[in-house]
Amino acid sequence: MPPEESSTATDDPAAALSARLVDSLQQSIREAGGFLPFVEYMDRALYAPGLGYYVNGAHKLGAGGDFVTAPEISPLFGETLAAWLAPVLAEDLDGEGMILEFGGGTGRLAGDVLATLRELEVPWSGYRILEVSPDLRERQREHLREVLPAEEFARVAWLDALPQEPWRGVVLANEVLDALPVELFCWRDGDAAQVGVTEDAQGGLSLAERAAPEPLRSAVRDLHARCGPWPEGYTSEWRPALAPWLAAVAERLERGVVVAVDYGFPRDAYYAAERHQGTLVGYHRQQMVLDPLTRPGLMDLTASVDFTAVAEAADAAGLEVAVYAAQGEFLLAAGLPARFDARVGDATDAEATLRTAQAVRMLTLPGEMGERFQVMALTRDCPSLPRAAIPDRRGRL
C-alpha cells in the first residue's frame, strides 16, 4: 500500500476510510456546538463501528503492523506468566478455573499460555477472549486452530461482553488498558482545562481548550494537589473508563486473579512536573506519532496507565493488590531464566539461541521493556499465587 501522504481518498481504501471517519467526527463536532472532548475523539478514532482503528480491518500487529507486543517478541513471556499462574489454577481454582483474556492480539499469548498449562498438566475449564476487533478475532482463531490440540481448541470461545454469571478464574490484559480512551487536560491559570477537537478554518481537525467540566475538573485538581505544582500549560491525561472497567471485571469474579501488564507509572511519576506533555502518542507502522489527530482511524492511540489508579479501583472493587513490579524484574523472578535454559539448553542452532537471548533482553532490560512495562496482579482469595520472590513495588503506588 502506498503511503497515505502520496494517496488520495479515492485511490486508497485506507485514506477513504479515514476521510469517512473525519466527516462523521466533523458532524459530531458541529452537533456538539463546535467542541468534541478528546476522550470522545479517541473513543471514535479507535472504536467507531466499521471506521475506528480497532474495528476497520487495518493491519495492526507484528511485522508490517503498527506495534509489536511482548507475546510477539517471545513465547517465553506467555510461558512464564502461565507457569507463575499455574498454582492458582491448580490449587485455588481446583483445576476448574476459566481464563479470560482481554484483547488477544494475534492469539500468541493464548497459544503460549495453553501450551505451558498442558506441559505442566494444569487443568482449566475454558479460555475466553474478549476482543473488539473482528480481524484480530479471525487471526486469533486461525492461530489457535493451528497450534492447539482439537480438544483444547473446542474449549476456546470469543465473547462480546463480560460473562453474566458469577465465575472463577484468571483475567489477562496485556497492553489493553492503555487503549481505554483518555481525557486530555491542560493546567491553565491555576485550574483545569479540557482539551478537545474542533474544526479548523481549512476544514481539518485541530485541538482546542475550554474550562473543564466535572468530573474532569475535580480529578485534575486532585492530581495537582498530590503531584503539583505544574508549570502553566502542563498537559496530561486522565482515564475515566479505568475504574468502571475494573469494577465490571471484578463484579462477577468470585475467586481468581486479574493480571494487567502495560506501560505505565505510579501516580507521582506519571504526573511529575517534568512530564509536562503527558504520555499520549500514536503508533503507525512502528513509528511513534506525537500529533494525536494524525490519520484518524489508521493510527493506534495510546496513553500510559496510572497504576495507582488501577490499585485504587481494585481496592474499591474488593480485590487485593497482590503484586506490583516492573516487567523485567517480574519475569526474572517468576521463572523466565529457567524457561530460557530449558528452551536453549541443548539447542545446536546458535542463531536461534542468539535470537532467544535478544528477545529476553528486550523483555527484561530496563532500557527496553523491563522498566517501562509494569505487572500488576489483583486477587480475590488466591493464597497460592507465588508472590514471595517477586520484587515488591507496591510501596511506590
Ligand X SMILES: C[S@@+](CC[C@H](N)C(=O)[O-])C[C@H]1O[C@@H](n2cnc3c(N)ncnc32)[C@H](O)[C@@H]1O
Helix residue ranges, H only, 148-215: 150-153
Report the alpha-carbon angle 284-287-289, nearest 5: 75
The three three-digit cell numbers of residue 208, written as one number:
482546542
C-alpha cell at 283: 503508533
Residue 259 touching ligand X (CB under 6 A): no
- For residues 115 and 79, the answer to whether their CB atoms sit within 8 Å is yes
Residue 264 binds ligand X (CB under 6 A) = no
- The residues near 324 (Cβ < 8 Å, ≥ 6 apart) are 307, 311, 374, 375, 376, 377, 392, 393, 394, 396, 397
Three-class SS state of 88: helix
Beta-strand relationship, 156-159 and 126-130: parallel
Task: Supply the minimum distance, in Å, between the C-beta of residue 67 and ligand X.
Answer: 6
Binding pattern for the stretch 30-69 against ligand X, x by CB under 6 A and - elsewhere: ------------------------x------------x-x
- Residue of 52, 75, 105, 370 that binds ligand X (CB under 6 A): 105
78 touching ligand X, by CB under 6 A? no
Which of the residues 177 through 206 are near ligand X (CB under 6 A)?
179
The interface region with ligand X, picked from 91-99, 170-178, 216-224, 231-239 by CB under 6 A, is 170-178
| Number of residues lying near ligand X (CB under 6 A) | 20
Nearer to ligand X, 186 or 305 (CB): 305
CB distance 232 to 191 below 8 Å: no
Contact range with ligand X by CB under 6 A, out of 2-10, 30-38, 128-136, 149-157 = 128-136
Cell numbers given for 6: 502520496
Amino acid at 278: G
* Nearest distance, CB of residue 46 and ligand X, angstroms: 7
Residue number, 21 or 397, with CB nearest to ligand X? 21
Q: What is the DSSP letter of 251?
A: H
Q: Which residue is nearest to ligand X (CB)?
A: 103
The answer to the question of residue 130 lying near ligand X (CB under 6 A) is yes
CB of 218 to ligand X, least distance (A): 25
Q: Of 177, 160, 165, nearest to 98 (Cα)?
A: 165
User: 127 near 159, Cβ under 8 Å?
Assistant: no
174 vs 235, beta carbon nearer ligand X: 174
Out of 133, 327, 356, 364, the only residue in the binding site for ligand X (CB under 6 A) is: 133
CB of 11 to ligand X, least distance (A): 28
User: Can residue 175 be called a binding residue for ligand X (CB under 6 A)?
Assistant: yes
Judged by CB under 6 A, the stretch of 32-40, 131-139, 225-233, 274-282 that binds ligand X is 131-139
Residue 136 within binding range of ligand X, rule CB under 6 A: yes
How many Cβ atoms are within 10 Å of 394's Cβ, its own excluded? 14
**Do 310 and 376 touch, CB atoms closer than 8 A?**
yes
CB of 23 to ligand X, least distance (A): 23
| Residue 128 grid cell | 475466553
Stretch that binds ligand X, among 13-21, 102-110, 153-161, 192-200 (CB under 6 A): 102-110
> Considering the rule CB under 6 A, would residue 109 count as an interface residue with ligand X?
yes
Q: How far is CA 106 from CA 25, 64, 65, in A?
A: 29, 13, 11
| 274/276 Cα distance (integer angstroms) | 5
Return the range that interacts with ligand X (CB under 6 A); candidates 99-107, 271-279, 312-320, 370-378.
99-107
- Residue 71 touching ligand X (CB under 6 A): yes
Residue 295 · residue 284 · CB < 8 Å: yes
Residue 364 interacts with ligand X (CB under 6 A): yes or no: no
Contacting residues toward ligand X, per CB under 6 A: 54, 67, 69-72, 102-105, 109, 130-133, 136, 174-176, 179
